[in-house]
Amino acid sequence: MNNHLDQIKFQLTEASGMMHQMKDDCSQSIADAAQVMISALENGNKILWCGNGGSAAQAQHLSTEVIGGLRDHVRPGKASLSLTTDSSFLTAWPNDVGFDTLFSRQVESLGQKGDVLIGISTSGNSENIVRAVESAGELGMKVIVFTGRDGGKLAKSGDVMISIPSDDTQHIQEGHITAGHIVCELVEQAFS
């Protein structure tokens, strides 16, 4: 039992240290991401989200916060769509064409100038996210990237990069959901 307690305390200490570091490393990029989203939504545009695995779940979760409300369920809903939810397309396109273009194809079909793409990748190296970011840029969309410490292939791409100061996937995901909730709250306050 003590082994478990030591491991629990270690993980909580690591997570809290990472969150503390986020105050210095991520506050400005979180504010910038919220402003990009607010501007797009004020202009009648929409937010598209994408990610793989746990990041796909976070894309769905955060997209829902924009539509339904994080705290304010009375304010008008805002246009937000997770590209990870169309099971027919998610299985057909990779089977017939390839996984690397899964999200870029959706961006090309659903995105338009002035929309925002949010790509979530803990490593920054997910090829389907990299290609989606490239497609969004070609369409004149704004791009926000959530990634880990060095940003991988996505480093310096897009308009805003929220790079969580960690190399540990679980802590990066914890940072992403925290940053995402803050972004969604700032967006919500702008329309409440």
The pLDDT score that the predictor gives to residue 156 is 86
Which uninterrupted H or E stretch holds 7?
helix 2-42
Phi, psi values for residue 122, rounded to 5° = -60, -35
Total-model pTM: 0.95
Spatial separation of the C-alpha atoms in residues 174 and 42, rounded to whole Å: 29
- Residue 97 is given by DSSP the state T
Helix (H, G, I), strand (E, B) or coil at 143: strand
Computed on alpha carbons and rounded to an integer, the radius of gyration of the chain in Å comes to: 17
Spatial separation of the C-alpha atoms in residues 84 and 89, rounded to whole Å: 9
| β-strand partners of 49 | 82, 118
The pLDDT score that the predictor gives to residue 10 is 92
Q: Both ends of the chain: CA-CA distance in Å?
A: 48
Helix (H, G, I), strand (E, B) or coil at 128: helix
CA atoms within 13 A on the CB side of 33: 27
The pLDDT score that the predictor gives to residue 2 is 65
Which portions of the chain are predicted below pLDDT 50? Answer: none
The pLDDT score that the predictor gives to residue 72 is 84
The pLDDT score that the predictor gives to residue 178 is 97
Q: Residues near 85 by Cβ (< 8 Å), separated by ≥ 6?
A: 60
Helix (H, G, I), strand (E, B) or coil at 81: strand
pLDDT, averaged across the chain: 95
User: Do strands 142-147 and 80-82 pair parallel, antiparallel, or not at all (unpaired)?
Assistant: unpaired
Query: Tens digits of per-residue pLDDT, 53-62?
Result: 999 999 999 9
Spatial separation of the C-alpha atoms in residues 182 and 191, rounded to whole Å: 15
Q: How many residues does the chain have?
A: 192
Query: Please, is 59 exposed, middle or buried when counting C-beta atoms within 10 Å of its C-beta (0-12, 13-18, 19+)?
Result: buried
